[in-house]
Structure 1
Amino acid sequence: MAPLTGLRIRWTALVIFTHSGYLLLGATIFQLLEQEAESKNRDQFQLEKLKFLTNYSCLDGPALERFVKVIVEAWESRVDPSGNSTNPSNWDFSSSFFFAGTVVTTIGYGNLSPCTVWGKVFCVFYALCGIPLNLAFLNLLSKFIHFNLGLLKRGIFLVVPHKFIEVLAVTLFLVIGSVLLLVIPPLMFSYVEGWSYGEGFYFAFITLSSIGFGDYVVGMYQ
């Protein structure tokens, strides 16, 4: 019993150490990759503000800062500051359906969220019921696919050697899975949204992994 307990303690310590190290490594690399670009963007924005004040001398710095604050608050409220009041609603049926899907799948892009008190309350209870329901649906779907693949495999085993089928099945699984999940969706998103293939691939992976940063969302820039 004692050796098992010691092994369990060492394994737990190893997992904690590896997890912490992985987080520290990720933080360091993200900082090196992104901090300089952020600084350049910030400097560019300040330069644009100075040019704007130069071209429109009737404005002063505080007035421009207040206007920028209004734009930021509008953006945070999911109101597009460009255009006018005839812009498409963020909460038409298709957008609301899309939002409901991101809630139950726990993707949560963050580009759209309820602003009213009752909307937030409903979202909480909707997620509490919808997430388990979505997991049950995915479990049922996986069983259905597994059952039909089993029937297909047994049928093929009657005419093809067992070992060959196993190798073929793994190969087909990898190829078809890659095509369906990481090749076709990025190409579709690139065509429909006007993104590069890399941006489409990034969006597809972030969505499938349910990370959902919200920096790229379908229909966001149309």
Structure 2
Amino acid sequence: MSTSYKSRVLSLVLVCVYVLYLVFGALVFSALEKPLEEKVQAELNLLKQQLISNMSCINISTLEQLLQTLLNANKYGVSLAQNSSEYSNWDLASALFFSNTLVTTIGYGHTTPLSDTGKAFSIVYALLGVPFTMLVLSACVQRLMSPLYLRPVASWRRRFGWHPHMANTVHFVLLLLLVSVVFFLVPATVFSIIEGSWSFLEAFYFCFISLCTIGLGDFVPGEQPKQKFRPLYKISVMVYLFVGLMAMYLVLRSFHKLADVQGWTAFFHLPSCDDDGDEERESPAVEPNECERDTKPLDPSARVSYNSISK
């Protein structure tokens, strides 16, 4: 079996597994959420009928128009349930938070531009901001790979004599545990305390959905009425999201390195995780010596001359 044929077969298998995974998720979500949706819809219809029966003077069409207007306003982050003069969805802190979620592709959707000009500017702003954000994250993580990945792995190999498979596996597990504690468990505890209506599970769910850039928008921090220090809170969450995205990217890079060492990328014919030459030179224990990799054993009978020395 040729390498190209094997690569095509593996790619086809991966695509089929991915489609099956999507179908499986759709079936599970439909089974879990559809009954609850029907229950909420029934409650709304019952509440509507009770309101009409108790107040016969209400016009049904006017009521339905009011409900539709409320739903549309809620889609843009405007709610009748809170005092609109208390804070704005477009003050400096909120606008900064929106800009951050836009260029990081988290996009909660709780606040969206109302004007056509704002929509057009969002397109241009994201068109430039998304790749620029990815560039900044890549540059920061590239600088962190040496002190947080290459040096620890090289140090463990020199000190304990570990095989590269062992050193990289231990490093990835420890990094994953550290990121889980620092960027998921601890922030979830803090959010569950600050956001009084959030349980720990809901706060942990928010952290995971945000740092994976899924951004469903069902939980957004700083949106409760009478939120204390709301501008500072919004900016703090924005910093947490950016640093958390760096940590997630670092985990992905480390996993890619682990896959290279374990031979998974070669098995699936995927590109390896390439680093800068400076980082490779800083960790000679991780990569084989250039002379050992690129040269052939010398022939004992070969005669050495000055002409054979490269200048």
- Which structure has more RCO (C-alpha within 8 Å, separation ≥ 6)? 2
Alignment-derived partner of residue 123 in structure 2: 124
How far residue 38 of structure 1 moved from its aligned partner, in angstroms, is 0.3
Alignment-derived partner of residue 244 in structure 2: none
Show CA shifts across 1:141-177 (max 9, x none).
1123223336863996699434399476445323211
Equivalent runs, 1:21-170 vs 2, <5 Å:
21-149=20-148, 153=152, 160-163=159-162, 166=167, 169-170=171-172
Please identify which structure carries the higher helix content: 1
Taking a change above 3 Å as real, the CA distance of residues 85 and 180 of structure 1, as seen in their structure-2 partners, is closer
How far residue 123 of structure 1 moved from its aligned partner, in angstroms, is 1.2
CA distance in 2, matches of 1:96, 1:157: 46
The residue identity in structure 2 corresponding to 1:214 is G
Show CA shifts across 1:60-93 (max 9, x none).
3223212212212222332112245424110000
The residue identity in structure 2 corresponding to 1:147 is S
Q: Percent identity?
A: 32
How far residue 8 of structure 1 moved from its aligned partner, in angstroms, is 3.1
The residue identity in structure 1 corresponding to 2:216 is F
CA distance in 2, matches of 1:149, 1:175: 14
Taking a change above 3 Å as real, the CA distance of residues 118 and 176 of structure 1, as seen in their structure-2 partners, is same
Q: 1:214 aligns with which of 195, 214, 217?
A: 217
The residue identity in structure 1 corresponding to 2:215 is G
Taking a change above 3 Å as real, the CA distance of residues 85 and 196 of structure 1, as seen in their structure-2 partners, is closer
Which 5+ residue runs of structure 2 have no aligned equivalent?
Answer: 226-311
CA distance in 1, matches of 2:69, 2:206: 30
Most deviating of 139-148 and 209-218: 139-148
The residue identity in structure 2 corresponding to 1:141 is C
How many residues align? The count is 221
Alignment-derived partner of residue 197 in structure 1: 200
Q: Higher Cα Rg: structure 1 or 2?
A: 2
CA distance in 2, matches of 1:8, 1:163: 32
Name the TM-score, length of structure 1 as normaliser.
Answer: 0.87
Which 5+ residue runs of structure 1 have no aligned equivalent?
Answer: none
CA distance in 1, matches of 2:92, 2:78: 17
Name the TM-score, length of structure 2 as normaliser.
Answer: 0.64
